[in-house]
Structure 1
Amino acid sequence: MSLKTINELTPPGQNQTVKLRITRIWEVFIPTTQRNLGIAFLAFDNQGQGIHVHIPESTADKFRPMLMEGMLYHVSRFQVVNPYMTHLTVIRNYGILFNRNTILKPIPDDPAGYPRHFFHFDNDEKLFELANSDKYLTDSYGVLVKIVVAENILIPKQNKTGKKEVIIKRISGDEMKITVWEGCFNQMDDDLLLSLNPPLVLIFDAVSVRTFRDTIYLQTTSPTKIYVDLDIPEKPQIEAVNESLAPANATIAELLSFEPKKIQRTIFKAEVTVDELNLNNGWYYKACNLCNKKVNEPEGSPINCTYHGEKIVPRIKMRLPIRISDDTDSMDITIFDKEAEQMTNTYITSLMSNGGVSEEKVPDGVLNILNKKFRIVIGLTQRAVEENSPTYKIYDAVQVIDIQKRKEMTLTNSQTKEDDDNDKELEKGDTLSSPIDAFVENDLFPSVSPLKKKKTR
């Protein structure tokens, strides 16, 4: 059997061999019944040509353990057929169909000459041609603007399913709405994506095209894969759009005046001071390792989670209710977990490895955030939007240290280091200090450790 390129394949294909790299694999389902129709994958040859490959469910179990994205394969004894199936990821007059006689052999060759990813970004004219038909899918990319999570909806012949609307800004400057169904939720970390500045470029691979009142929108399908910040040739142009999407500055008075239903999950920047720290209910809680919800600790019974029962491993999570203010107003807000650790420069893992934590002993880092100024990235939670309540979450925080104070800290640190060096010389006599010490500048250590503070008192 002769080795062919994709362009050289002809029906029926039984005596042809092709060398392919798999770029993406997915299970094929009927949406309304969830019936599995087998496996499909998109593959490319060393000429950069792509083809849609389908493996019927009757033979899928034979090949499923062998398939891996990014691998090279020799494929033979397959059929070359007219693409009768829907949700095709590449427009071509034929596709490959596996049967029980097909031979699939992984090969250890260097895959560098074969595309690892392939995208086909259609213009609006082509999108209208593809609209409201599931024959061919398209790809789209843009800068993330907004994520709106809708309530669960009832699909005919199915149970309720979740969906969310993602808005991206394309290279043209126009916005595109993409309906993301629950099957793709695990591909997106909404809070992380919304907190990043500048916002990242998202690629939605293999989405179907729909129209509503002559307006195009896209929706995810079973083959859809969502890529975040992938290096593609179009990336430099689309990154220019980021500049216009940087979070806007807002005062606390403005944040409190916004209507949650209108601003949704928009992210803002603010400069605030921590005025109060409420430790009446402690500074941490025990959370379920599966859902991060607070665990139940009934007297005489094992610790358990309301949602996951007793088979959990409790984790310590920081929780700090604080009051922040600026020149316009003040706001009560609770910081959790990673953001709390970042603001306090106190890390639970470090505390646990150095004797553990207790409600009675509050770490110095937690207490020291009082009266400190921070530059924060802030936005509403999804629950706040749903309840139309101005309940904000801090996604990022950096302490603001004025220039004069930084100089004072540096001078104090320099003097402390000099005192320590003198102490060492008195203790060690003529012992030479390490040559490394002579080349470490003092301003690399802007803060003074508690031990050194004690020495200077």
Structure 2
Amino acid sequence: MATNTSTHFTNAKDISYVYLDQLQEGKDAHVRVMICRKWDTNTIYGKYISSDFIVCDQRGNIMQCTAKSNVAHCFINKLQEGCVYSIGMFSVIPNKNEYRILKDNQLMLELQGSTYVRKDTIDVAGFIRHPFQCVEFENLTPTFKEYLVDVIGYVTNVGEPSPQKTGAKTLDLFLTNQRGRKIRATLWGSLGDDLVQKKSNSCGLYAIILTSVIVKNYNNEVSISSTTSTLIIDDAEIPTLKEFKSMIGDVEVSEDVQHNLPVVQLGAVKEGTLDELLQLARKGKTDVVTFRCKVKIQNIRTKNGWYYLSCSICKCKKAVSRQSGNFWCDSCEKTVDFPRTRFRLQMDVTDETAQAVIVMFDETAEKLVNATAQSLLDDMNQDSWTSVLPIALANLIGTTHTFELRSNTYYQHTGYESFNCNKVCSAILPADEGALPIELDQDVTTPVEDGFTETTECEDSSPTPPKRKHSVNTPAKDFEHKKRRKFIVESSQSEDENNEISTEEVDKQ
């Protein structure tokens, strides 16, 4: 269909073109535009939604253009950045109510299956190759997910990747403008890895433009966060970046420049207590502090289970649901025959100063337990696995460990406060066992199920059986001659509601 209309368009002689600011909703028109920027838009779980573009006409008007997933394959390879195209048979639709790329635009273009495009050889004079709507840091206000903005600055204080509750990975950093004003930025998913790689290949101060970011309040401070439409723009030839670099002066990082920067060392780690960490986190300071806290595990919480099942087909880490007796993944919209088991540990911990809840996911939890979630689940009594902890987890209760905790992972719930664990540093057995500390930073091998962190699209083959090697950093308890304890949490569906912990003594099995 697109091929036929493209031929018809090529043979057309007298076509009247309009400018983008002359378009009207529901009216047919032909436009001549330059493709300034393009990207793919996905859900937070990785499901492909559309391919989107920023287009500009010869008068400098800019507009968002989108092609939904069912027709995007007709245009992805045809529309190249920096080229001018004649486009017809598209739809003019109202701009989105949420996550608008261009805040003040009332309309946007939507490419249809009948839309035809033709590369044009017109002079590019008048077109804006790199249109950005950068907002000064001092003027940033929360966008409340209504629209997205562009920001420009140079990168400082890059932290380390940190796992979140959803299983996603984030990277925290700071952007600084030409006046020394700093703002915290959080990059989600692979954007953090992309930035680290690009920054390592650059010299001097690394200046970038972050497109389509959300502005929000974080600990009473304005901060920005990436979206699935965010791009990292660092081409030094782009006029906007050239102008910014001229304002910040010498791009080489000299000792004088480094000395004058208000540096906040995210990577600096120091010894501390839970009480010190809680006091810093409650104040909502912009500076991120990383403490190594030596704590004792009092209890293992089971928030709807200490594990969860995720899809083994797509790359999302969302928990699968049950539909019609089968496991179902909303991201890839398929039945999952072999869901992947992942850790989600919530532990009540304490030291001599305070109490808190520490949350661990996947690889961090594996390092602590020294076993995969699937191997522990396989060894449990399937009739009682919803309430009885595996031995390797039950043995953690009463042991002392050193964890790396960051103030920026602080969450305040009803009845308790929690931090995500960034790293497991060491484990110390109970004093009455007379055991020596085990340094987990050294040569301790954690058995990992094949393909645990990388999912492959294979529906016909069964998953590789996991290696079973239970925790070596805790003493084995005699469950044959002692009463077995159940640790049950009465929990609701809300993450913010308090979990009341109770224990039940049962007769030995």
Q: TM-score normalised to the size of structure 1?
A: 0.49
Rg (Cα) greater in structure? 1
Q: TM-score normalised to the size of structure 2?
A: 0.45
